[in-house]
Structure 1
Amino acid sequence: MTLNDARIAQQGLDTTHGAILYLEEISVVFDGFRALNKLSLDISVGELRCIIGPNGAGKTTMMDVITGKTRPTSGTAYFGQTMDLSRMSEHQIAHAGIGRKFQRPTVFEQHTVFENLELAMKLDKRVRPTLFARLSSDQRGKIDEILKLIRLNGSEQRLAGLLSHGQKQWLEIGMLQMQEPQLILLDEPVAGMSDAETARTAELLNELRGKHSIVVVEHDMAFVTEIAQQGVVTVLHEGAVLAQGRMEEVQADERVIEVYLGR
């Protein structure tokens, strides 16, 4: 049993068929506009899935449905095989083990790197326990582990507001790690990064591969190629799956070339 399998079992998720997320014929209609059009998708336990597609393809709406921000007009969304996401609040979904990182980093800039990770730790957040809590050696060890993973060890006492754009993105990924999610959704994680930061982010996600199920929405094709490896890439267009397969298969698909990649 992998670490991720153990976490899933602890949460009570049923993933006996190997998938942690099922979207079946999800449609979302806003004032007559169909943002998602009978979208069907499943993500396997421990998979790193890349989602690409032109602006307006429905990528953000898809993540909004998964996290409870948007309710589907029709269709079903399941976390494991027992948790109906359409019946859960955003808070309940986050608590169940789905973490989301938006394109713009949202760290606590007036707090140190260490404090950001401490605040994000999966603990009893009621006032009294928080006021009188003292980190155990295991909890400090967890923070040290995450600091090394995101390459911010040695910068733990630095104010988050003084970090570079890329470092803030890594810190937020580290904060997600502190929540011990089973499924992580990342929206354009390398937007605005330098080439060096982008390469480091690819290394980071490859290190997380298999420890969590990860869905990455991204436009940077070089980055997608780096992290997709032999995994599946899904192309969305007009709210539905246009194509799906290995990166080289998707890049050679005439429909994808026409609507997204160009010649």
Structure 2
Amino acid sequence: MSFLSSLADRDHVFDFLVPATSPVDVRHGPILYLEDVSVSFDGFKAIDDLNLTIDDGELRCIIGPNGAGKTTMMDIITGKTRPDSGSVWFGSRHNLLTMNEPEIASLGIGRKFQKPTVFEALSVFENLELAMAADKRILPTLTARMTGEVRDRIEEVLETIGLEALRNGPAGILSHGQKQWLEIGMLLMQRPRLLLIDEPVAGMTEQEMERTAELLTGLAGKGKQSVVVVEHDMGFVRSIAGTVTVLHQGSVLAEGSMDQVASDPRVIEVYLGADPDEEAA
């Protein structure tokens, strides 16, 4: 008997938070489109006429110095921050600026913050089970029952994140890297179309970084997910990125392959030439 079904005896089933067939329409354009987006906080322009396009199934890396606008950009995409001007579209049908955070999440946009937030007293399996609940209110969550579809989905995600052998162990004993993978798995339970991932390898061992690179590159692709990774570790970025976008002062400074942006004099001046010890999220 699962953790949730052991708490109550009711006829209730989980539904996927996001349907298997996502409502996003990418037949005529990119999956994510930001045009002329600007936002200011107390006179400081955090985002300044930002233009960014993410294709369906793409794995894009976003880099830039402190204050470049990386976190604010993700806040805007997920509905946490409203821009002063501009357009943000998810596919060709969904204007994200007219939607709130839960509505945006339900479309299939998942976000993972830098610090993993898992339920350490629960098992790996139970964490994934909790992430599946469509209705996040306390009572429906606690009275939900396991279904075969949910169990199959958990098994699929466990294999994807490489934690099958640790399924019954408490999440609190996982290494830092394993907790990061578990949280990515919790997002995958909701069948997202777009994943926004903030500094996934901060604090990881070399071996964990290699496994994370394999995980993220395996997630992206047509018919799967589009993945946007904000990261400071240039070695890691080089290992996963096809296209790298460099933000500076709230707008795109450069974009291209890692070799192209690394050799751009502007990027070297404002970012890659900086003291790595001074770089932060």
Q: TM-score range by the shorter chain?
A: over 0.9
The superposition leaves residues 92-125 of structure 1 with CA deviations (integer Å, 9 ceiling, x where unpaired) of: 1111110000000011111110000000015345
**Aligned with 1:167 (options 178, 183, 206):** 178
- CA distance in structure 2 between the partners assigned to 1:69 and 1:125 by the alignment: 18
2:90 maps to 1:79: yes
- CA distance in structure 2 between the partners assigned to 1:222 and 1:136 by the alignment: 42
The superposition leaves residues 27-67 of structure 1 with CA deviations (integer Å, 9 ceiling, x where unpaired) of: 01001000000000010000000000111100000000000
1:180 aligned partner: 191
Which one has a larger percent helix, Structure 1 or Structure 2?
A: 1
Aligned length: 255
**Aligned with 2:208 (options 194, 197, 206):** 197
Q: Secondary structure at the match of 2:145?
A: coil
Deviation for aligned residue 1:253? 0.7
Instruction: Judge conservation of contact 2:121–2:170 (CA < 8 Å) in 1.
Output: yes
- How many percent of aligned residue pairs carry the same amino acid? 63
Instruction: Judge conservation of contact 2:20–2:191 (CA < 8 Å) in 1.
Output: no
2:111 maps to 1:63: no
2:233 maps to 1:220: yes
TM-score (norm 2): 0.86
- CA distance in structure 2 between the partners assigned to 1:114 and 1:151 by the alignment: 12
Task: Give runs of ≥4 in structure 1 deviating > 6 Å.
Answer: none
Instruction: Judge conservation of contact 2:246–2:252 (CA < 8 Å) in 1.
Output: yes
TM-score (norm 1): 0.92
1:44 aligned partner: 55
RMSD: 1.7
2:149 maps to 1:152: no
Q: Secondary structure at the match of 1:144?
A: helix
Deviation for aligned residue 1:208? 0.7
2:255 aligned partner: 244
Task: Give the residue type in structure 2 aligned to 1:50.
Answer: C
Deviation for aligned residue 1:8? 8.5
- CA distance in structure 2 between the partners assigned to 1:137 and 1:260 by the alignment: 49
Structure 1 unaligned spans of 5+: 1-6
- CA distance in structure 2 between the partners assigned to 1:240 and 1:167 by the alignment: 33
Structure 2 unaligned spans of 5+: 1-17, 275-281
Instruction: Judge conservation of contact 2:31–2:91 (CA < 8 Å) in 1.
Output: yes
